[in-house]
Amino acid sequence: MQVLKEEIRFSILNAAKELFLEKGFEMASMNMIAKKAGISKSNLYNYFPSKEDIFYVLTEYAYDKIESVLEDLFNHGSDDNFDVERFVALASEKLISLLTKYKKEMMLIVDCSQGTKFEGTKQAFILRLQEHYISEFKKFDILVEDNDYFFVHYIATSLIEGLLEIIRHDKSDAWIRKNINLFIKYYIRGYSQFFTDDFS
């Protein structure tokens, strides 16, 4: 029985990550992955039975981390004494930590996952954010004419797309940190205006 070598497995995962980011899950093949990793296709199958298995090894742990951060932010416990600046700092810290550590995995999940169980994840994130915002508006008796919450769709979309646009540039961690911090300050301070007494 062939001994599986950790360095070969690592090489396979790195090669697959690059190919999935470049071509997307559907267009990448096991042949391409084997060639890029510098091994035979038959040897590749000793490590992974399919490209789906490779994709999920690359993404499932990061997806769980994303879910955890979303739950933390959704359960921030807003009330009448909600401190906007404290939440800005909390959200920035959590999102910076997540998106610097898992930026490529995040791009795999939202931009390159067609044909996998993560297809549609970006829209699912947006929908959850919309539902959270609508719940907050109702909780604080913020009236919206004719219950037309379409504007919630575009403010939720702008948050998700804004964060993705930052990591898509694939700059340094320091650059990502600075831009996420600026974006979150701009976004949350604007969003908090819905909860002021003079909102109309």
CATH number, position 17: 1.10.10.60
Across the range 91-111, mean pLDDT stands at 94
Yes or no: say if 178 and 92 are a contact pair by the CB < 8 Å rule: no
Instruction: Tell me if 185 is assigned to some domain.
Output: yes
**Whether residue 60 is found in the same domain as residue 22:** no
Lowest mean pLDDT of 17-26, 72-81, 148-157, name the range.
72-81
| DSSP calls for 114-169 | TTSTTTTHHHHHHHHHHHHHHHHHHHTT---GGG--HHHHHHHHHHHHHHHHHHHT
Across the range 150-164, mean pLDDT stands at 92
**Whether residue 76 is found in the same domain as residue 33:** no
**Whether residue 91 is found in the same domain as residue 136:** yes
| Sequence-ordered list of residues with C-beta below 8 angstroms from that of 56, at least 6 positions apart, any chain | 116, 117
Instruction: Tell me if 200 is assigned to some domain.
Output: no
* DSSP H or E run through 18: helix 6-23
Instruction: Tell me if 170 is assigned to some domain.
Output: yes
CA distance 181 to 91: 9
**Whether residue 168 is found in the same domain as residue 78:** yes
As for how many domains the chain has, the answer is 2
**Whether residue 166 is found in the same domain as residue 190:** yes
Yes or no: say if 34 and 40 are a contact pair by the CB < 8 Å rule: yes
Which of 34, 49, 64 is the last residue before a domain boundary? 49
Instruction: Tell me if 120 is assigned to some domain.
Output: yes
Enclosing domain of residue 73: 50-195
**Whether residue 35 is found in the same domain as residue 69:** no
What's the farthest any 2 CA atoms get from each other in the chain?
73
* pLDDT, tens digit (0-9, with 9 covering 90-100), for 109-140: 999 999 999 999 999 999 999 998 888 888 87
| 1, pLDDT greater than 50 | no
**Whether residue 44 is found in the same domain as residue 33:** yes
**Whether residue 68 is found in the same domain as residue 148:** yes
**Whether residue 7 is found in the same domain as residue 103:** no
| Sequence-ordered list of residues with C-beta below 8 angstroms from that of 34, at least 6 positions apart, any chain | 40, 41, 43, 44
Tokens of 80: 């009448």
| 171, pLDDT greater than 80 | yes
If you average pLDDT over every residue of the chain, what do you get? 89
Tokens of 120: 């549609």
| Sequence-ordered list of residues with C-beta below 8 angstroms from that of 121, at least 6 positions apart, any chain | 63, 109, 110, 113
Across the range 42-46, mean pLDDT stands at 95
Instruction: Tell me if 177 is assigned to some domain.
Output: yes
The CA distances from residue 134 to 31, 65, 155, in Å, are 47, 24, 11
- The pLDDT value recorded for residue 125 is 93
Across the range 166-179, mean pLDDT stands at 93
Instruction: Tell me if 106 is assigned to some domain.
Output: yes
* Cα-based angle 117, 26, 118 (whole degrees, multiple of 5): 20
**Whether residue 57 is found in the same domain as residue 103:** yes
- The pLDDT value recorded for residue 3 is 59
**Whether residue 2 is found in the same domain as residue 75:** no
**Whether residue 146 is found in the same domain as residue 78:** yes
